[in-house]
Amino acid sequence: MQSFFEKKKKEDERQKLLQMPKTGMIAGGKMVLLGGEKKPQAQLAAKKPSLSLLEDNKPLMLSGDIEKDARATYEQAVSREKTRLARKEAGKKKRGKRRLRRIKDGKGKES
């Protein structure tokens, strides 16, 4: 038999779970955040979609502020992905030039 305090503790936990605000909504297979709450950065980095996926899955037409927030988030993600790809290409060019310069000077590997 459970003590009074154990029952009270379980009931309090149940009430807290029921009172928790709903922070997200799934719209068309995508999670749309409601309010100003954000996911931890580690989770966002782990699930970085590719640029083509982002362009194919434009946000659904939602009502009011949710629609605006979803569109802004989508546009930021596309912009961030394009910037990342441009930076990656610039790095490749820079590495290639550095490698050629080393080969020309006779310091690097000749492959």
**Under a CB-based contact definition with an 8 Å cutoff, are residues 50 and 81 in contact?**
yes
Q: Where are the domains of the chain?
A: 4-105
As a whole number of angstroms, the distance between CA 73 and CA 34 comes to 12
**Under a CB-based contact definition with an 8 Å cutoff, are residues 48 and 80 in contact?**
no
pTM: 0.33
Tokens 């936990």 locate to: 13
Spell out the per-residue pLDDT of the chain, length 111, in tens. 678 888 888 888 888 767 765 555 555 555 555 555 555 555 555 555 555 555 555 554 445 566 777 778 888 889 999 999 999 999 999 999 888 888 888 776 655
